[in-house]
Structure 1
Amino acid sequence: MGLEDQDSIRILRDVLDPDRGSHDLVAQFYSRWFAVDLTARDLFPPDMANQRRVFGQALCWLCDEIIAQRADEPVAFLAQLGRDHRKYGVTDQHYATLQDALLHTLRSHFEQSWDQRLSEAVHDVVALAVGMMSGAATAETSPPFSDGTVLEHLRPTRDVSVIRLKMDHPLSYLPGQYVPVQVPQWPRRWRYLSPAIPADSQGYVEFHVRSVPGGMVSTAIVGESRPGDRWRLANPHGGLHVDRDDADVLMVAGSTGLAPLRALIMDLARFAANPRVHLFFGARFPCELYDLPTLWEIASMNSWLSVTPVAEHKTDPPWAADYPDPTPPRGLHVRQIGVLADVVTRYGGWGDRQILLCGKPAMVLATKAALIAKGAPAERIRHDPLAS
C-alpha cells in the first residue's frame, strides 16, 4: 500500500513528532549517519539540538500532508528544501547515505512491530523525501549562494545595526522576501534576514538586524561586524507582497520587522499610482524608531503612504543620548503611545485592507489576534513563518 496506507504513516508520524519525545530517535539517526559518512558531520553546526527538532517537525508535517492526501505543497516544499540545501554542500552521496541511515534507524526502532505494511510505508515516505530533494538540487542550475563584502556598519540605536554590503554578483530577490545569511563570526550557522531595499542591479544589499538576548548570530552581527567582513547569502524565500490591483494596504512593523516592508514601500515608489498604504512602525522607546527619517522622505514624495510611529514608552532611556535622534521633520502622523496591537486596532478592524505583519512572533500573533477580533478576515492577514 505504501503512501496510501494512512494507518502506517500515522504510526511513523507519531514516532517522529518532537512533542511526543522523538529526540532520542532523531539523535540516533544523526549519530548513525555521521558514523557511516564522515563528511556529513561537516555540513552542520556543532550544536545539533535545533537541527534535530526541525528535522523531526519537517518529517511530521510531510506525513500529515500525505495522510490528508495533499500532494502539491509537499512536492513544492521538498523541492525548495533540496535547492536550498545546496548551500551546505550537500551532494548525491550525502542523500544516499542519509536515506540508508534513516531507514536503518527506523527499522531498528520498530523492531517489534516491523511488518510488510509498515516497511512499505516507511520506505515510500523516506524515498519521496530524499528523491524530491536530491532531484530538485540536481536540476537547479543557479549558484547555491553568493558572497559579498560589508561596506558599512551603522548603529542607529543600542540594539539595532544597519549593515550595507556589496555582493560579488547581484542578488536576485523580490521585495518582501528573506534570504539565508552566513556571517564569518558563526560559520555554518545560517540565519534568515530580510533585505531592507529592493534588489539592486549593482549588487548592493542592506539589512537591519536587532540583537536578540541569547541570539548568538544577531549578537555577533550587532557587536562584531566590521567593514571588509565577507558574508554569504543564499537563495531567497517567502511570498510577502503587495498586490497593486487589490485593496489598500495596512502594514504593521515591530522594530527591524520594518526591513521587508520598507523594501516593499521603496518598490512601490517606482510607480505613479498605488493603493494607499498605512504603516504602523513600533518599538519600545521613541529612540528605537530608528528609520523614521527615511520613511519621512518617502512619505513626503508619495501621497499614498502614511506612517504612524508607535512607542510603548513616552520617554527615552538615558542611553538614548549616545545614539542619533531619529525624530524626523514634521509631516508624519503624531507618535502614538502603547502596544502595537492595541494602537492599530484603535482605528478599527482594517478588514477591507491587505494586511502585512512583520516583527517578533509574539507581536505578530498578538496583532493578528486583535485584528481578527475586530473583524479582519484571517485570510487577508499575511506574515512570514514564525520562528519557534
Structure 2
Amino acid sequence: MIETPTADKTVQMARLVRESFAAVETKAEELSQYFYGALFSASPDVRALFPINMATQRNRLLRALVYVVQMVDRPEELTTFLSQLGRDHRKFDVLGRHYDAVGVALIATLKRFLKDGWTPEVEGAWVTAYGIISKIMREAADKEIGPAWWKATVIEHRLASRDVAVIRVRTDQALPYRAGGYVSVEVPQRPRMWRYLSPATAPNADGTMEFHVHAVRGGWVSRTIVNHTRFGDVWRLGPSLGALSVHHTESRPLLMIGGGTGVAPLLALLDEMSRWKNNPPVHLFFGGQRPEDLYALDQLRELTITCPWLTVTPVTEEGAIAGGDRGTLATAVTQRGAWKERDVYVAGSPPMIRATIAKLLAAGTDLARIKYDPFTLD
C-alpha cells in the first residue's frame, strides 16, 4: 500500500525529485531510449501497446515526466492530470502489471543515468512519487465505467490553407467533453499512433466534432490526416482531457492567445460562450508566421459581429495584415501591458506556450491567472 507522505515529507520528496531530474534532463533522448529498452526487455508483452515508430512516444514520455515533476508538490493539479491520464490509458488495455513494469524500468533508468547521484534518499523519493502516480492512475481507470474509446466517422475534410485541414466527424455515441479540452485520436492509416487534438466546437446535440490539423514537417500522423483523410474514414477517440474551460458565471475579462491550430480550443470556448446571454469582455490574439497561416481569421471576425464582447487581433511575424500586429504573439500581447485584470488562456505549440508564458510573467502577469494545457500537442 502506498501511503500519502506528510507535508514535510512531500516537500522533501519534491525537492529530491526535481533536483535529480534536472541532473539528467539534458540527456533526454538517451534517457527515453534506455527506458523503453529496459521496459521492453523486462516485459516483452508491453511492446504491443506501443506504435512501431517510437520517436513521438519518447518525446511524450519526457514531456509527461517534466509536467509531473513540476506538479509533484501540487497534489490537486497532479491528481486531476493523472486521473485523466489513467482514464485515457484504458484504450491501451493497460493492466496493473504494466504499471509495475513501467515503475521498475523508470527506477532502473534513473539509477543508470544519475550514477553517484542515485542515493538511498533519491531512490526513496522516486519510489514514493511513482507509487503515488500509479495509484492515482489505476484508481481513476478502475472507477471509470464509460467506453475506453469512441468510434467517429469522418463526414467532412477540407483544406483551410496549404497545410491545415479542417475535419468534421460524427461519433457513434455521445462522447462527453468540455469546450477547451482535447482528446486522443487514432486514424486508420496510422494504427496505434494516437495523437492529441482539440475540438474546435463546443459539444452539440448531433454528435459532431470539428478538428483543425496542421501538417507538421516530418509528422507521421498530422501529414496523413491533412493529406489522406477520406470521407467515411472511421477514427477512434479517447476520453476528454484538459483543464481549459470557462464557466458561464465568469465575470473577469478574458485574454485568449492562440498560435496556429492552437486557436481550435479557444474557438470551442467562444462557440460555447456565444450561446450564453451574458459574457465578460474577451480579447483574442491569433498568431501565425505569415498572413496565410491565419486560416480561422475570417471565422473569428464574423463571430465579432454577433458577439460584441469579443475583440480579435491578428498577429503575423512576416507580412502585414489589415488591423493586425507584427511580431511574435508573446511580444504583441505583452507590449500592451501585463493584463492583470484578466484571466489568460494560452494555446498553441509547446515552444509558443513556453515563450508566451515567460513573456507574460516578465511583464508582471500573475501565474495563477494563466491557464494552459502543456501536454496537448505532439
Whether the TM-score (by the shorter chain) exceeds 0.5 is yes
Q: Distance in 2 between matches of 1:79 and 1:165?
A: 26
Q: 1:82 aligns with which of 71, 82, 86?
A: 86
Offset at residue 237 of structure 1 (A): 1.5
1:270 aligned residue: 275
Q: Distance in 1 between matches of 2:43 and 2:106?
A: 13
3-state SS, counterpart of residue 264 of structure 1: helix
Offset at residue 206 of structure 1 (A): 0.2
3-state SS, counterpart of residue 142 of structure 1: coil
Answering whether residue 228 of structure 2 is matched by residue 239 of structure 1, we say: no
Q: 2:306 aligns with which of 301, 307, 310?
A: 301
Q: Deviation digits for residues 95-128 of structure 1, max 9, x if unmatched?
A: 4555566678889999999999888766555544
Letter in 2 for 1:344: V
Offset at residue 225 of structure 1 (A): 1.2
Q: Distance in 2 between matches of 1:84 and 1:304?
A: 36
Mean Cα deviation higher: 115-124 or 218-227: 115-124
Q: Distance in 2 between matches of 1:117 and 1:196?
A: 46
Offset at residue 44 of structure 1 (A): 0.6
Check whether the contact 2:181–2:265 (CA below 8 A) recurs between aligned residues: yes
Offset at residue 171 of structure 1 (A): 1.8
Check whether the contact 1:147–1:231 (CA below 8 A) recurs between aligned residues: yes
Where do residues 352-367 of structure 1 align in structure 2 (5 Å cutoff)? 352-367=341-356
The gaps in structure 1 that reach 5 residues or longer are 317-332
Letter in 1 for 2:283: H
Q: Distance in 2 between matches of 1:91 and 1:156?
A: 41
Q: Deviation digits for residues 125-157 of structure 1, max 9, x if unmatched?
A: 554443333232222111111111111111121
Where do residues 174-253 of structure 1 align in structure 2 (5 Å cutoff)? 174-243=178-247, 244-253=249-258
Where do residues 1-388 of structure 1 align in structure 2 (5 Å cutoff)? 4=9, 10=16, 14=20, 18-19=24-25, 21=27, 27=33, 30-35=36-41, 37-52=43-58, 54-55=60-61, 58=64, 71-98=75-102, 124-243=128-247, 244-314=249-319, 334-385=323-374
Mean Cα deviation higher: 96-105 or 85-94: 96-105
Check whether the contact 2:20–2:114 (CA below 8 A) recurs between aligned residues: no
Alignment CA distance shift 1:348-1:231 (3 Å): same
Mean Cα deviation higher: 233-242 or 370-379: 370-379
Offset at residue 312 of structure 1 (A): 3.1
Check whether the contact 1:16–1:56 (CA below 8 A) recurs between aligned residues: no
3-state SS, counterpart of residue 209 of structure 1: strand
Mean Cα deviation higher: 219-228 or 103-112: 103-112
Offset at residue 201 of structure 1 (A): 2.3
Mean Cα deviation higher: 376-385 or 220-229: 376-385
Check whether the contact 1:284–1:312 (CA below 8 A) recurs between aligned residues: yes
Q: Deviation digits for residues 328-357 of structure 1, max 9, x if unmatched?
A: xxxxx8234443333334444322222222
Offset at residue 219 of structure 1 (A): 1.4
Offset at residue 74 of structure 1 (A): 4.3
Q: Distance in 2 between matches of 1:314 and 1:256?
A: 19
Q: Distance in 2 between matches of 1:147 and 1:250?
A: 35
Q: Distance in 1 between matches of 2:24 and 2:368?
A: 29
Offset at residue 240 of structure 1 (A): 1.3
Q: Distance in 2 between matches of 1:306 and 1:140?
A: 40
Q: How many residues align?
A: 370
Letter in 1 for 2:354: L
Offset at residue 183 of structure 1 (A): 1.4
Mean Cα deviation higher: 160-169 or 346-355: 346-355
Check whether the contact 1:179–1:194 (CA below 8 A) recurs between aligned residues: yes
Letter in 2 for 1:285: R
Check whether the contact 2:14–2:69 (CA below 8 A) recurs between aligned residues: no
Check whether the contact 1:352–1:376 (CA below 8 A) recurs between aligned residues: no
Check whether the contact 1:176–1:261 (CA below 8 A) recurs between aligned residues: yes
Alignment CA distance shift 1:187-1:246 (3 Å): same
Larger Rg: 1
CA RMSD of aligned residues (A): 3.8
Q: Deviation digits for residues 286-306 of structure 1, max 9, x if unmatched?
A: 233222332233221121112
Letter in 1 for 2:297: L
Give TM-score scaled by structure 1 length.
0.79
Q: Distance in 1 between matches of 2:317 and 2:127?
A: 53
3-state SS, counterpart of residue 40 of structure 1: helix
Offset at residue 204 of structure 1 (A): 0.2
Q: Distance in 2 between matches of 1:110 and 1:345?
A: 39
Q: Distance in 2 between matches of 1:341 and 1:189?
A: 32
